[in-house]
Amino acid sequence: MGNDIKVLIVDDSAIVRKVFAEQLSKEAGIKVVGTAPDPYVARDKIVKLKPDVITLDIEMPRMDGITFLKKLMKFYPLPVIIVSSLTSKGSNIALEALSLGALEVISKPNSAYSVGDMGVQLAEKIRAVAKINVTSATKTNTALKPQTDIESKALSTTTNKIMAIGASTGGTEAVKKVLTMMPQNSPGIVVVQHMPAQFTTSFAERLNELCKMEVKEAKDGDSVINGQALIAPGNFHMLLKRSGARYYVQVKKGPLVHYQRPAADVLFKSAAKYAGANVLGIILTGMGKDGAAGLLAMKKAGAINIAQDEKSCVVFGMPKEAIDIGAVDHVKDINDIAQTAIKLITGE
């Protein structure tokens, strides 16, 4: 009991607080030390109870979750999981929360009485983020090297090349770092980032504003073309397919893989089957082992794979699993992955 992860639940709904507390109390190694209806009460309880992890709603009275998160990360940084109803507007706010230092986002069910259904998922994420040094993670995300452009002429000799990227916890910032460093005529890119439905739409839109290449949420049948990145939509798997010389994606429902939908393994295994040596795999920060088996299948099919190194990861779970089974050819700092990928895929 002494080593249990101490959790503080911050949510304006009394029902949500009660159900979360009951569900998490059933999970081994987790102890709910308190709840708070708003950030002001939460502030006092943080000082008194010293929780290891906070679950935080966004829309609350007296002070919104984003304002509270800013203050928390400045004066008392802790692992934070955003648990919120992600409307179109809310998903943009949740993206801002991740950029400010929140480590995970979970979509709250529409009915407060059904939040217990997500207890296992929330407990899994709590166990993962409790191990993270938030101060170090924040420094890693903000103190990045200056962006370096990659000369577009380096891509002139490539045809039908593809990059496949998988990421989870901490991945929104890592994916942003990689894609913003890609040139306008980069090979087509397909991305699986573990996140809820609706959230991926705002994520793709924000990346599209920041990147030289076009970034969009994938739709079933979209072609994979140079100068474009496709983000797998939340709650759908994305597979790479090929018809003649044309690569395209299939977006579909299906069972959870490693508790995830979309799952990196689903994308990577399809890339191994349909692209072989014409695809380059990249696995970024994230908990669990999603993507490892898929990367190994890609490598056996002739692909070259890159993993983010431990120092620049928020969670070194997914990259480590892939490295441990021999699926990775290069291990790189997040700042060096884009340029390494372009050099490898062009052969220069």
pLDDT at 150: 39
- The confidence score (pLDDT) of residue 2 equals 67
Mean pLDDT check: name the lowest of 137-141, 144-148, 206-210, 280-284: 144-148
pLDDT at 145 over 50: no
Per the listing, tokens 């309880």 go with: 45
Confidence bin at 89 (pLDDT 50/70/90): low
Contact present, 117 and 110 (Cβ < 8 Å):
no
Enumerate the β-bridge partners of residue 302: none
With a cut of 70, say whether residue 69 has pLDDT above it.
yes
Q: Is the pLDDT of residue 117 over 90?
A: no
| pLDDT reading at 158 higher than 80 | no
Q: Are 85 and 64 in contact (CB under 8 A)?
A: no
The SS3 call for residue 50 is coil
Greater confidence (279 vs 85) lies with: 279
- The predicted model gives 337-347 an average pLDDT of 92
Integer Cα distance of 226 and 181 in angstroms: 15
Non-local CB neighbours of 190 within 8 Å, separated by 6+ positions: 162, 163, 164, 165, 218, 224, 229, 230, 232, 238, 240, 249, 267, 271
CA dihedral of residues 71, 77, 80, 84 (deg, nearest 10): 0
Distance CA 250, CA 240 (A): 6
Q: How confident is the model at residue 143 (pLDDT cuts 50, 70, 90)?
A: very low
Domains of the chain and CATH, by start? 5-142 (3.40.50.2300), 152-346 (3.40.50.180)
**pLDDT band, very low/low/confident/very high, at 148 (cuts 50, 70, 90):** very low
Q: Write out the catalytic residue numbers.
A: 168, 194, 290
Q: At 118, list the tokens.
A: 């997500």
Measured CA to CA in angstroms, residue 251 lies from 223, 232, 262 at distances of: 12, 8, 9
**This prediction's pTM:** 0.83
**According to the model, what pLDDT value does residue 298 have?**
97
Give the mean model confidence (pLDDT) for residues 125-129. 89
What integer pLDDT is reported at residue 42 of this predicted model? 94
Which of the listed ranges 82-91, 118-127, 246-255 does the model predict with the highest average pLDDT?
246-255
What secondary structure does DSSP assign to 15-37, as a single string? HHHHHHHHHHHTSTTEEEEEEES
Q: What is the pLDDT of residue 346?
A: 82
In this predicted structure, the answer to whether residue 146 has a pLDDT above a threshold of 60 is no
